[in-house]
Structure 1
Amino acid sequence: MITTSRDPSSRLKMFAKEMKLVVPGAQRMNRGRHEVGALLRACKANGVTDLLVLHEHRGQPDGLIISHLPFGPTAFFTLCNVVMRHEVPDIGTMSEATPHLIFHNFTSRLGQRVCSILKYLFPVPKEDSKRVITFANQDDYISFSIHDQAGHAGAGSHGRCGVALASLHQHGPQAAVPERRLRGTPGPERPPCSGGCRAALSRAWTQDVGPVQPEIAGELPRRWLGM
């Protein structure tokens, strides 16, 4: 399920529509004035497996929450340099086939955790699917892009292995996504992130990011929760 923060701008609404095309089988829901707790209860009652919440700042998409239901984990991402489909010249139509996934440089324990959160948003693709989504990690910024391939895809388990590509044509939105935080299910009933969890994540970010350390512990900004 994909939704937005309260009172979304036209640009955020458009981005939510494009994200619906990115994730096969996803549904888009107008946020209205619903609180996060009510959204979670509705999703759990209807068997929704993941809740994605998009946020913005002054009309520019700048945040993404991915929460796996019913028990988490939940990842908080910052979005930057977002480019939507209508901003790419001669982009053509966008396939809605289940994509093959390429993950590059997710080698640390934290990177593997983030990789798992992202890859299980997508069903297993068919071997002849020509749609490719790339998540490339560099200095803990995840570059995200969508392409259609011309050539042969040698797909392995869940579509993640070497893919021989003759050419790639961009057919979807793209963004840089620095990961911010991991914890359990959001909302009033969420389990707290333990001290050991916080320490482990802090050490991982210190090793991977170096001197630039995003916040790991603490409360989510109130504007992200639409309060």
Structure 2
Amino acid sequence: MRRFAATALLFILLASALQGCLLTRVLETRGQLCDDQPSRIVVARAPGKGLRVVFEKPTLTDRDVIWIVGYEPTQVTGTGAVRQFTYEALPLHRPLDRSAGLVAELSFERLDGEYRLAEVAIPEKFSAVLSPALLEDVVRVACKAQIGIVPPTTSFDLASLDRSTLPTRDDLTRLLGPPPASMGASDEVSYQYCLAPCDASSAMAANVKVSFGNRGEMQRVDASYFRYFVAIDLVSSRATARVELR
């Protein structure tokens, strides 16, 4: 399946907020996903290894990735022709619990004197909720996104999204575990993650609140991390998602 994963798409489509050569590389990467036929960005499913996003024409540099993520990687390994970044997100209330962490590995190839992003390995546990149908839907929606300049935003029309492919409340709690504390409303769950190394006072935290309906169906997501603010509304007359860069 020649498609990209949802999380990276949100960052890539904020191109209007970027400057100079980085903007050029981001737009080129988006073109490889949305315009090239067949797509130059491929998702491979490997049993026991989760999803791997392969960039057939590496464009984004290691410096670009650090700017987009907003934080240095937890670990950098490799020299010479290949370099690898490891980003490890840990529950903010349990920063020493590595078993509950989410680990993404990014591999770079040295091309024209720079390390360029060649592959992203997504944690295996996400394979259960990132179905092929959902990935196809997300790519289709994302490639038609509307980009605003002031403030820098990306807006997505989710009217065509098959909501039956979205994770339910049970799916989410199986994936991330029980939420650390009650939200005061039975239809909401909230999670906080920080990028390792971190502690309970870490400023580099991701905050996610998800609201569900009576049957456990996802209705709204509000999330913030670093420069990024995300609001997904699935219950309005026209379902939308909005990503804002501040």
> What TM-score results when the alignment is normalised by the length of structure 2?
0.29
Higher relative contact order (CA 8 A, sep 6+): 1
> What TM-score results when the alignment is normalised by the length of structure 1?
0.31
